[in-house]
Structure 1
Amino acid sequence: MKKTTIILSLSTLAVLAACGNESVNNENTAEADNAAEESGENTPDAENEADEPAAENTEETNMETEETENNSEAEGNEEEAAEEIAEDGWETEVGETIENEGGTFTLHARQDEIDTVETGPVVMEITQVNAASGELAPDLAEMMETEELDYIQMDVEVENTADEDITFYASQATISTSTGEQLEQDLWLSDHIDGELMAGTSHSGSFFFVLENSQAEEVESLRAVWSAPHDEDWEDLGEEVDIEIEF
C-alpha cells in the first residue's frame, strides 16, 4: 500500500508540473516561440517529454493496482475453498465430477461415519468408503484394459496397540455389494499395508475394488470382511472383522 501511495504521489506531481508549464507558456507565448526558434527546439517535443513520465507512472500505478486486486481475489478464493473443505472435511462432494491425470471421475456415494473397529490389539478406522466411476486417461486405460471403470474405494487406518509384533492383513479385505458382487482389492490401484504389524505402529492406505457386473451408482451398501489378527504362533488374537456399510 505504501509503495502504491508513493507512485500515486509521483503521478500527481508529474501532472501538476505539466499544468504549470502550460500556464507559463500561455503567458509568454511569443517569448517562448522566439526562444524555441533561436535554440532550434520544438515546443511540442518538450510537452511530449513532460507528458511521458506522467504516462509511465500512471501505467505503473494501474499495473500495481491490478496486481493488488488479483492477489486479493486469489486469497479470497483460497479462503473460500478452505472453508468449503472444512465444512465436511472432503474436497469433492457427492455428485461432483473431477478431472485429473487419471481421467474424469464422478463420485456417486460416500460413507464416512463408520464405527471404529477393534479386534484384539488391532484398532482400525475406516475413514471413508466411496462408490465412483470414471472415464480413464489413455495410459491408465491401457493398463486397466478398459476405458471406463466403476469401483469402490475404501480408506483405512490401522494400529497395532500391542507390545509385540502381530499379523493382520488390513489390505486383504473381501467385500460383497448390494448388487451381488464379491470382490478382492485391485492390486494395481490399491496401496499395500504389510501384514506384519510391528508393536505400536500405525499404517494407512486406500484400497480399490473394481466392479465387474454392476455400476457404482447402483451400489447401496456393502459388507467387508477381514481375517482375525494372530501372533507368531498363528494363535488368533481377536475375532474376524465382519461389518456392514450403507451409503
Structure 2
Amino acid sequence: MKKFGIGLSIAALLTVAACGSEGANEAANADSESSNGNNEETSESNNDSSNEAEENDTENNSDNAEADEEAEEVNNEVNEDTEEVTDEVAEEGWETSVGETVENEGGTFTLHARQDDIDTAETGPVVMEIEQVNAASGELSPDLAAMMETENIEYVQMDITVENTGEEDITFYASQATIATSTGEQLESDMWMSDHIDGEMMSGTSHSGSFFFILENSNAEDIENVRITWSAPHDEDFNDIGEEVDIEVSF
C-alpha cells in the first residue's frame, strides 16, 4: 500500500493523459479531491497560525513600546534630577556650603568658614591663584585617627595653583607656606595630609595642590582671618627674582 500510494500520487496525471481509462480517471479524481481537501485544511491551519502569530507580534510590539516609554520616562526623570544638582553646584560654586557637615572615608567634617574671592598673587615670574582658604573641623575615621594619633581635628585648608610664567627654570616652594591665624597660631602645612609641589619649577609649568594646617591650640570656627606668607622665588644662582609673598585672607 505504501508503494501504491506513492505510485498513485506520482503517476496520477500520467494515467489520466496516457491511459484514459475510466477507473484511472475516477481514482485520479478521488485523489485530486482528497488532495484539495487536505490543501484547504492545511491552508486554513496555516492561516490560523499566521493570524495568531501576527496577533502575538502585535501584542509583543505593544508591550515593547510601553516598556520603551517607561524607560524613557525614568531616564528623563534621572536627567532632570542630575541637571538640578548640577545647577545647584554651579550656582553655589562649591559642593559643600559653609555650616554643612559631610561624611567620607576620612570621617565626618564640618565646614565653618570659606573665602574664595582672593586676589591673584604675583612675585617675579610666579603667578599664584588661591582658589580657596577654609576653616573646618572633623571627627576622623579609625584608620585616619590611628595615623594622626587623634580622633578629632581642627584645621585650615588652602587650595592653590602656581605657574612659572618666565622663560627660565626657577625655584619656588609653593608648598612651604606659613600661616598665622587670628586665634594666635603660627603653622606650616602638614606634610602627610598635604599635596606636594616640587620647588624646582621648569619654565612654563603649572602645578596645583591642597594644603592642610592643623590647629593645635584653637578651634577652626573661631578663626576670623589668616595671614599667609611664602619666601621669594630664586634663580639657579640662588638670587631672588621676586619679593616675599605676604597676604591676608578674611572670612
Tell me the TM-score range normalised by the shorter chain: 0.7 to 0.9
1:134 aligns with 2:138: yes
TM-score by length of 1: 0.74
Structure with greater Cα Rg: 2
Q: Distance in 2 between matches of 1:101 and 1:55?
A: 50
User: What pairs up with 1:94-105 in 2 under 5 angstroms?
Assistant: 94-105=98-109
Say which SS state the counterpart of residue 237 (structure 2) adopts: coil
Q: How far is 1:244 from its partner? A: 0.5
Count of aligned pairs: 196
Structure 2 unaligned blocks of 5 or more: 1-55
Partner residue in 2 for 1:164: 168
TM-score by length of 2: 0.73
1:78 aligns with 2:82: yes
1:148 aligns with 2:158: no
Match of 2:178 among 151, 174, 177: 174
User: What pairs up with 1:209-224 in 2 under 5 angstroms?
Assistant: 209-224=213-228
Q: How far is 1:60 from its partner? A: 7.0
Q: How far is 1:153 from its partner? A: 0.5
Q: How far is 1:88 from its partner? A: 3.0
Which residue type is aligned with residue 133 of structure 1? S
Match of 1:114 among 118, 128, 135: 118
Q: Distance in 2 between matches of 1:230 and 1:66?
A: 65
Q: Distance in 2 between matches of 1:219 and 1:238?
A: 30
1:184 aligns with 2:188: yes
Which residue type is aligned with residue 81 of structure 2? N
Which residue type is aligned with residue 219 of structure 1? I
1:123 aligns with 2:127: yes
Q: How far is 1:57 from its partner? A: 8.9
Q: How far is 1:75 from its partner? A: 0.9
Q: How far is 1:105 from its partner? A: 1.0
Q: Distance in 1 between matches of 2:65 and 2:156?
A: 54
Q: How far is 1:70 from its partner? A: 2.8
Q: How far is 1:149 from its partner? A: 1.0
Q: Distance in 2 between matches of 1:134 and 1:61?
A: 52
Partner residue in 2 for 1:32: none
Which residue type is aligned with residue 140 of structure 1? L
Q: Distance in 1 between matches of 2:140 and 2:62?
A: 51
Say which SS state the counterpart of residue 69 (structure 1) adopts: helix
User: What pairs up with 1:189-228 in 2 under 5 angstroms?
Assistant: 189-228=193-232
Say which SS state the counterpart of residue 87 (structure 1) adopts: helix
Say which SS state the counterpart of residue 131 (structure 2) adopts: strand
Q: Distance in 1 between matches of 2:57 and 2:152?
A: 61
Q: Distance in 1 between matches of 2:67 and 2:101?
A: 37
Q: Distance in 1 between matches of 2:67 and 2:222?
A: 53
